[in-house]
Structure 1
Amino acid sequence: MKIGELARYSGVSQRSLRYYEAKGLLAPQRTSSGHRVFTPLDVRRVRVIRRLFAAGFCSAVIGDLLPRILEPAEGDAYVVRDRFAAARRRLLSEIAVIQKELMTLDRLEGQFGLEHDMHVKDDDGLYERVESPQTTEIDHRSRRLR
């Protein structure tokens, strides 16, 4: 199958597939004219890669985990379990840090008399409830598990 078909079957963009290949996570065969050729096994591989990225792992760790997950040898299950446990500990630690930062932010809002929602007077002298603007999402890439 061609890259477009793999993208469709796996739910991953062609750009992501090229990135996976550049990182050594995916190694398609090539035709004599240089076109990539993928197999049904690559669909499974890409789905596993996508889930590992979604869990926060970086490409280097995914490269180490993939063969242990897709073609496990004796003892690989222990290695994968240990990596997952380490990832869980790190994420729980990050949650604790974020909760602490939120408590500090709440105290600062109280200290400075700020509220999440404010009431403002319009031109007619009537009060209107105005919600705080939505914040933009943080760049999650800085929280990749290594």
Structure 2
Amino acid sequence: MRIGELARRAGVSARALRYYEEQGLLTSERAPSGQRFYPDSAVERVRLIQQFFTAGLPSRTILRILPCVDAGHGSPEAFELLESERNRITTAMADLAAARDALDRIIDIAHHPTAEHCPALREPGWAPYDADVAATDAADSAVREAVAV
């Protein structure tokens, strides 16, 4: 089948199929005109590749696992690789949960500001202005006293 037919049957874009070929995940035969042709089994192969991507595996890891799929049994190295990827994803999930929790705290503070978190609540916005006015008044008084003497 040609690339468009495989894309339609597997539910992916032709561009995705070209990418899979570039990464070594999928192979095709070429006609003299350069058109790609795939066997019927390519549909199942593409769906499997999609499952690996959905599971969060990068293409370089998928490439290392596919020989085990083709052979019909997993090697200890493949299982280690999968466990390593699972640990990587678990760590990323924990990092995202921590970021979400920090954002929740920021949202709560924004909805319920306190002087502890918001400098504007520590002193009124007019306080610096009042201090400037008081300083100006004191300077004016000192000038008046000097002139009066």
Q: What TM-score does the superposition give when structure 1 sets the normalisation length? A: 0.68
C-alpha distance in structure 1 between counterparts of 2:10 and 2:52, whole Å: 14
Residue in 2 that maps onto 1:30: 30
Residue in 2 that maps onto 1:136: none
Higher RCO (C-alpha under 8 Å, 6+ residues apart): 1
The one of 84, 95, 98 equivalent to 1:97 is 95
C-alpha distance in structure 2 between counterparts of 1:44 and 1:71, whole Å: 15
Count, aligned residues? 113
C-alpha distance in structure 2 between counterparts of 1:38 and 1:32, whole Å: 15
| 5+ residue gaps, structure 1 | 115-146
C-alpha distance in structure 2 between counterparts of 1:3 and 1:111, whole Å: 54
Map Cα deviations across residues 7-55 of structure 1 (whole Å, 9 max, x no partner).
1221111111111112221110112222111102211211111111111
| 5+ residue gaps, structure 2 | 113-149
Larger strand percent: 1
| Percent sequence identity over aligned pairs | 37
Q: What RMSD over aligned residues (CA atoms) do the two structures have, in Å?
A: 2.0
Larger Rg: 2
Larger helix percent: 2
What does 1:59-138 correspond to in 2, within 5 Å?
59-72=59-72, 76-113=74-111
C-alpha distance in structure 1 between counterparts of 2:76 and 2:22, whole Å: 28
- Extract structure 1 runs of 4+ deviating beyond 4 A: none
Residue in 1 that maps onto 2:128: none
